[in-house]
Amino acid sequence: MIENTQTETRPSIYGLTRDQLIEWAQENGEKKFRATQVWDWLYRKRVQSFEEMTNLSQAFIAKLNENFIINPLQQVVVQESEDGTVKYLFMLPDKVMIETVLMRQAYGLSVCVTTQVGCNMGCTFCASGILKKERDVTAGEIVSQIMLVQKYFDERGLDERVSHIVVMGIGEPFDNYEHLMNFLRVINDDNGLAIGARHITVSTCGFMPKKIKEFAHENLQVNLAISLHAPNNALRTSLMRITRNAPLEKLFEAIDYYTETTNRRVTYEYIMLSGENDSPEIAQQLADLIKPRNKLSYVNLIPYNPVAEHIKYERSTKNDTTKFYDVLKKNGINCVVRQEHGTDIDAACGQLRSKQIKKNKANIA
């Protein structure tokens, strides 16, 4: 078994926004433009060591090395799907592991990032929560996931860049709010990766409705997605235990506040589980819930990726999914059945990490 001991205490410089980097440089006796040079080396030239920053003094490079590392991740496993999806298992400095996924879409390269090591939300169908939360992933560690995926293309001389981000990997992003916001501001910065806010989607299960309200005032045009999966409290509680503390009434009060404040559309993620939440009657309940909000709503029906530890659940049949979709459309609900990615590899979020940890334990036994 891999020991969970800290081997690197310096934070990743990727965790600093440009303003924070400028402030740090000035506090350490450097001019503002020196921080701007560092930022350019990190995100435009995408170097992997401070020594490659050739227009900086050796004294400043030494100071950077003393206080920061650049990339805190180590690649452990890479799985490539026939459809072009790539799943990465990364190890953090304290030997814990996270997953990141690259998906090739018609509109560009999309990366799904992880925000926590494990998850405590307790969704009964999800592979992410099989292993409970150990810690939050820092902003620098989240940014590093993007940078290592981009490095794959840079090293091969491919003129491709990560253009879209989904924060839907392991963990609950709003349970790691401060690091999440720093991450969003780093990747959205026009002088760096310049990933457009409207190309970024953050997904939350809504465990803390007040965080949705707070997010409404961040002045970012980032997309919000809600992991809904059921249209009534009883069914949602059986699938997602957080509903006990955040019933749909509280959740939708916060969602309504968000849409009224931002005038931005909300996407509702809905995993199709055979015999659980996929009947036409349940579809009508969902339509009735969404219809008053349909102007700023979009329902994303998601085929379920079976998880060995959750043998209770199976994916809905194509016929049942079509019937469910038809009920929503007849009610005028904006909806789509999501395209699948990586079905020939460990598709469900958290599966690859769980398998690797079990493998490590078996090797030691």
CB 97 within 8 A of CB 353: yes
Residue type, 166: V
Q: Which of these is catalytic: 112, 119, 335, 349?
A: 349
Q: Using CB atoms within 10 A of its CB, is residue 5 exposed (0-12), middle (13-18) or buried (19+)?
A: exposed
Helices (H), 85-138: none
Q: Using CB atoms within 10 A of its CB, is residue 157 exposed (0-12), middle (13-18) or buried (19+)?
A: exposed
What value, to the nearest 5°, has the Cα angle with vertex 17 and ends 9 and 120? 60
CB 277 within 8 A of CB 235: yes
**Annotation marks residue 112 as catalytic:** no
Q: Using CB atoms within 10 A of its CB, is residue 203 exposed (0-12), middle (13-18) or buried (19+)?
A: buried
**Annotation marks residue 335 as catalytic:** no
The residue whose two tokens read 């992410």 is: 128
CB 37 within 8 A of CB 56: yes
Q: Which of these is catalytic: 99, 141, 172, 276?
A: 99
Q: What are phi and psi of 29, to 5 degrees?
A: 80, 15
Closest CA to 28 of 53, 78, 69, 62: 62
Helices (H), the chain: 18-27, 32-43, 58-67, 139-155, 177-188, 209-215, 233-239, 248-262, 280-290, 318-330, 351-364
CA distances 330 to 26, 38, 230, 334, 346, Å, are 60, 54, 19, 10, 35
> Which positions are annotated as active-site residues?
99, 349
